[in-house]
Structure 1
Amino acid sequence: MTYCAGILVQDGLVMIADTRTNAGLDDVSTFRKLHVFSTPSERTFGLMTAGNLSVTQSVVSLLHEGLANPETGEMDTLLNATTMFRAAQLVGRAIRAVREMDGDAMKEAGVKFDVSMLFGGQIKGQPMRLFMVYGAGNFIECGMDAPFLQIGEHKYGKPILDRAVTYKTHLYDALKVGLISMDSTMRSNLGVGLPIDLIVLRRDAAEPELNRRIEAGEPYFHDLRERWSAALRAAHTAIPRPPYGPPSG
């Protein structure tokens, strides 16, 4: 399984992804699902992937190589895309290209063509944007009213994002809540796990402010998990019992 979350707030963008892949309890591996494409001081994009590993790796490889422009014959890449919208379109084109190459063979073998991606970042002088790209290559954009997008095993980590994140949330508070969201998912689904990859992009900086991997046993993440569990226990204890049924003894 996979869990990835992108949080776009007033100050910038946080992208967080786990690294666990599994084909059963006895076949668990670690693969990077957060990929960074950048031209120093000019643009930085983050791409997070979920779904069939062979499909996602093929898409990422195509994006590194580029896709031939049907009109000019030149190679379109993320590093020469003129806008974030055009870059998101290129991600969609790469997905469709892989489907065209491998889709029929996968169908014959009974393998589902399963892929979704989160793509975000900024080109210097343009707005910072975050998109979710679907398996058909179409996409939607994150907005101010719901300033986050998720892919993969998202249901366990969504409630904390719904309650705690707004567009005006501080950038590193967004990172903290994103890590709590990841912890909630890890506790409820063994298919999501450490290490965790993350990047923080401050708006108009054009380069990552933070690009980090959280390994098992890292003190801050361990402390965050313990504090969040304790806070939940304290919160539910502080809420009065429902006034239903017989009086409590």
Structure 2
Amino acid sequence: MNNSGHTLLSVNVNKVALVRNTRHVGYPSVTRAAELCLKAGAAGITVHPRPDERHIRKGDVFEIAELMRLWPNREYNIEGNPFHNLMDFIRAVKPHQATFVPDSEGQSTSDHGWSFPQDAARLKPLIDECHALGVRVSLFMDPVPEQMAACKAVGADRVELYTETWASAFGTATEVKVLAQFKATAEAARDAGLGVNAGHDLTQANLTRFIAAMPFIAEVSIGHAFVSDALEMGYTQAIMAYQASIEKAYA
């Protein structure tokens, strides 16, 4: 694990599973992809097993859990909707972190965060259960500063800021305004006593400026762009490139 205090990189390997699932030959191996990323310096591995197993399958979750035991200084993050299939995996695997995401079973990718106070009562017992299992909880949230104190009140340890709007605004006239909204939210989370993660549509190009504005971000989870780059660069070079984008934020 990186002890520099800089933002850590967790690689989401869902898209590797998506490619694998188009054939019945068993490759590319999701676990092998995770291993190569860890060897190259990734601080963690993220999976998002959905009920329909359209990418990550049940077996992948457990195989990667076994792999992570060989890397005790790296973190395993399992994300998903705790009211679907997520909690079964959390109970069985006890990963370092559970990221609760309010996606529906049919949607193609996560597209919004939790809402408070509406979701508080049903989330709290599951957050408490995770804590009893020794698992840190992060809540997937839109960049709304006013929601951060409620996340802390319900027992969350961290929030993961949903960064699609940042990715869409990057390089446009709205970039400064959108970045300010994320910064205000991250600072509100920090002030409430929460750790701050971020993820969704982060790329080599937009990552540096985002982290430079919020250098206290604990972790970014990157999947689609990372796997796209790895197809061209290879896993090792892609890890190095994303680490360089992170380090550039602190230069």
TM-score, normalising length: structure 2:
0.29
Q: Which has the larger radius of gyration?
A: 1
Structure with higher RCO (Cα < 8 A, 6+ apart):
1
TM-score, normalising length: structure 1:
0.29
Q: Whose strand fraction is larger, Structure 1's or Structure 2's? A: 1
